[in-house]
Amino acid sequence: MQDTLKSINPATLEIVGEVKVTTESELTDIVTNAQQAFKSWRQVPLKKRVKKITAAFESLEPLHRGLAQLMSQEMGKDVRRSMGEVSGVIYGAAYSADDVAAALKPNNVGGDTVMQYLPLGICAVISPWNYPLAMAVNLIIPSLVAGNVVIFKPSEETPLVADEMVAALNEFLPQGILQIVHGGKELGQKLVESDVNLIAFTGSRQAGVDIMQRASSGLKRLIMELGGNDPMIVMANANIEAAAGFAVASSFENTGQMCVSTERVYVDAKIADAFEARVAEIASQYTVGPWNQSNVNIGPLVNKAQFQKVKSHIDDAVAKGAKVLLGASEQQYPYIPPTVITDITPDMLLENEETFGPVVAIARYENIDQAISRANDSDYGLGAVVFGGKGAADVAQQLEAGMVAVNQSVGGGANTPWVGAKQSGFGYRGSVEGHRQFAQVRVLSK
């Protein structure tokens, strides 16, 4: 096993830095330390836990720009988006912690019976590279507020920015309640198999299946978001300008490397010509380049494997008869230019797999039942969107997804869960119900 994990700038292929890989014996010590820290952290009153966590995240403010730049160097997103992500982490932490605390207060349900929400123990947080701080913090904060301690394994693609954040937080947090480990797939598997009580994971469906298998012998709690293949239906009575703008923005955001990115668009044949033309026109205005280039909208793919996956999906579609309205016939690593492809069919990878790249994939339909059927024909069910006028809400009701929206993006607000249906999720986070999944429910009758 390699001794260090090197972080590579995807735009230049230069080494940004490296971290030491956590060995199996070190992981054992870290789990032991977590067990000891849990004994005291669980005794800290809820309000004091919130105060300590909030102060720790507020301490990140002087590091704002440095964290954002490091994030961009590690995974390629433009600096504006990185600055926005770090801002959300720093300034949103207090609100998140307060929301979790409110959900975990004891609740008198009548008579002498109280519902309590108690700490579970050690939470293993395993997070992805596409939003390397935000996705981690969305799991770390509810874990810590609930009185759990956290062992955090960031993606091997973005270890540096995670390491720097944790080091800064630990200047203010009690010793041992937030520890970080570094490594690849094998370390993640060892962490899941270790003496932890809860695994909070965001990543691929394949990894989620493996986690469930490894956690099953200990009946460990699981909260997992496992990706999506989000459909968008554009009805004949839709506002074409709004629908086209959303299709492009949702497909290209974060270079398409987003779990609720629009992966496939089904448009009514009556308006398809106008819709496709406008999509191509909007998409052509996007600029490709490295994170520090002005006005960049689309950065490099995070690594060569992801680049090859997106390229293979495009090549597969073209070989099977799809039409390229916008995009290069040959893509040069590490960039995929803004791409618009029409006439996709169910046998194409663009339709039946998660592409995770800057591609708008469009198919036409003759009747709405056909569109609904194709939208639902997926093992995934994270998000789904309908653009239309009268009847759009009825179509939305028939879509099989954890989050569905009409004429807007999914994810309604702070008081709603981030939840997937089918194989896009197991458990969920956010909202009162989601926050309580990080705690042990106890019914106390006096």
* CATH code for the domain in which residue 155 is found: 3.40.605.10
Residues 161 and 271 in one domain: no
Residues 133 and 188 in one domain: yes
Residues 164 and 290 in one domain: no
Residues 191 and 253 in one domain: no
Q: At what angle do helices 272-283 and 240-252 cross, to 10 degrees?
A: 50
Overall domain count for the chain: 2
Q: List, by residue number, the catalytic residues.
A: 225, 259
Beta bridge pairs of residue 363 = 266
Residue 104 near residue 439, CB atoms below 8 Å: yes
Phi first, then psi, for residue 336 (nearest 5°) are -110, 115
Whose tokens are 């701080």? That residue is 133
Residues 213 and 285 in one domain: no
Whose tokens are 């899941």? That residue is 192
Residues 221 and 259 in one domain: no
**Is 8 within the bounds of a domain?**
yes
Residues 31 and 148 in one domain: yes
Q: What pLDDT score was predicted for residue 1? A: 59
Model pTM score: 0.97
272: containing domain = 230-406
Per the structure block, which two tokens stand in for 268? 């009514």
DSSP codes of every residue in 255-294:
GG--TT-EEEEEEETTTHHHHHHHHHHHHTT--B--TTST
Euclidean distance between CA atoms 276 and 353, whole angstroms: 22
Per the structure block, which two tokens stand in for 65? 């720009």
Q: What pLDDT score was predicted for residue 412? A: 72
> In one letter, which amino acid is 374?
R
Per the structure block, which two tokens stand in for 312? 């293979």
**Is 412 within the bounds of a domain?**
no
**Is 256 within the bounds of a domain?**
yes
Q: What pLDDT score was predicted for residue 341? A: 98
Euclidean distance between CA atoms 149 and 195, whole angstroms: 12
**Is 262 within the bounds of a domain?**
yes
**Is 411 within the bounds of a domain?**
no
Residue 181 near residue 22, CB atoms below 8 Å: yes
Beta bridge pairs of residue 107 = 115
Strand pairing class (425-426; 221-225): antiparallel
363: domain CATH number?
3.40.309.10
Give me the tens of pLDDT residue by residue for the chain, a chain 446 residues long: 579 999 999 999 999 999 999 999 999 999 999 999 999 999 999 999 999 999 999 999 999 999 999 999 999 999 999 999 999 999 999 999 999 999 999 999 988 999 999 999 999 999 999 999 999 999 999 999 999 999 999 999 999 999 999 999 999 999 999 999 999 999 999 999 999 999 999 999 999 999 999 999 999 999 999 999 999 999 999 999 999 999 999 999 999 999 999 999 999 999 999 999 999 999 999 999 999 999 999 999 999 999 999 999 999 999 999 999 999 878 899 999 999 999 999 999 999 999 999 999 999 999 999 999 999 999 999 999 999 999 999 999 999 999 999 999 998 776 899 999 999 999 999 999 999 999 999 999 98
Residue 382 near residue 227, CB atoms below 8 Å: yes
Residue 407 near residue 245, CB atoms below 8 Å: no
Residues 207 and 247 in one domain: no
**Is 83 within the bounds of a domain?**
yes
Whose tokens are 């300034």? That residue is 91
Residues 214 and 287 in one domain: no
Residues 279 and 318 in one domain: yes
Burial track 372-391 (b if 16+ CB lie within 10 A, e otherwise): bebbeebebbbbbbbbbeee
Residue 114 near residue 106, CB atoms below 8 Å: yes
Euclidean distance between CA atoms 406 and 398, whole angstroms: 12
For residue 54, which of 88, 97, 86 has the smallest C-alpha distance? 97
Residues 284 and 139 in one domain: no
Residue 316 near residue 294, CB atoms below 8 Å: no
Residues 21 and 165 in one domain: yes
Residue 38 near residue 150, CB atoms below 8 Å: no
